[in-house]
Structure 1
Amino acid sequence: MISTKRMARHMDCVNALGPILMCVRDHTRDLLAHLVRGSVAANAETVDLAMTLAKEVDLLEAHTGLSQRNPFSNLCRDLNSTLDHALYLARHLDNHRLDPAFQDVERLVIALNDARRFIDSMVEQQAPARHGASPVLVARRLLNGAVKALPACHRSRYSEEFRSELHDLATARATHFEQVWYALRQINLAFELRAELRRPARRGARP
């Protein structure tokens, strides 16, 4: 059974998440205004994708409101689904050169990533303490460099993935050299991954 103190801390975190999700909702509203009201010449498929994304945002907010019975790990799952759909819509808009709507989705993805980082930190705080050696500092710094080479809207996801894999290596008692070698391989692959994530290329777009 969850203690009263832990439940209170849990609900404090939910309340802190509220303003972040408000930004998500605002950016979603801006997107629909551009597409549904005709500000952008969007076809039926584009509008349908945007409406589906809006429904997922509504569902995410509803689940957050019920989070007293809905653990943060479940919210993280819902958030990942919404983020995946937003990234898919961003690629679709990019292909059709619908720039105003694309900018709305970029802002939406950044807000979703903010929410994901917040929820990830809450899951980590509530998880049992991990045992084992900490990853070496050099490897952690190298991975930070690899993440910075990626498009901004993808950094949170790959940062978590890289850090988790490095921690697993450290827990398995990998040597300092093996951890640094892992980080160097991620740097080597980062530019290839960056190109894949940014395809098709946007002229003059910032990463």
Structure 2
Amino acid sequence: MDSQFKETFGSWAQAIGTVISAVGGTPSHVFDEEFRKNLDLIGNELQATGNALLADAEDTWSLNKLSNQIEAIGNLTVILGLVIDFDEVTKQELIIKGNLIQALGGGTAVADAYVNPDQPEQALNVTGNILQVIGNSMQAIGGIDELRNSIQEKDQEEDDKKQENDEEENEEGNQKYQYPDLEKKPTDAELIQTMGGWIQAVGSVLNLIGQLRSNQESRSED
């Protein structure tokens, strides 16, 4: 398998993976939560495969090679959060850390553009990587917000149960809905994560276009 084929196949796998993950992360009445979680898992597996191939395509060490290795680690961290039977807080923390690691990888790829400014289709690659950094960061921010709200909701439920035990005559009390805004905040967090997922997908598609144009230029020179 030559380097150009690895780069092309890896770029396709990464782009398709980010789009599938974005679909899985989009709230929908058509797909249930379990199906969307499976889509997210498949998407991250494709991204990890794509990033690994892109890293393997480079024979010598470079910032671009390092960035793909970091992003693959980020994808694997997200996969762990999706498949391992941890408690919900640990799972969410792994997904958040995975997205932050991916953002770090994208930032490393942007830095590579300044080290190697003469690479073909550099503008598309820089734009794509910047969008991926923004997208992953938004997913991490949304995840942090969602985790904070879920902890608050859990604490509130425990307080409600304690209050109900202390005051049996108010078993039907209003404590459960004392903070109705907590029901709405996860929706905001999901919106941030959804936007981040699609921004990352756009960035990945731009990188794919840059790779395809680079291949075309190489064939023209040959």
TM range (shorter): 0.3 to 0.5
- Normalising by the residue count of structure 2, what TM-score does the alignment of the two structures yield? 0.40
Larger Rg: 2
Structure richer in helix, relative to its length: 2
Larger RCO: 1 or 2 (CA < 8 Å, sep 6+):
2
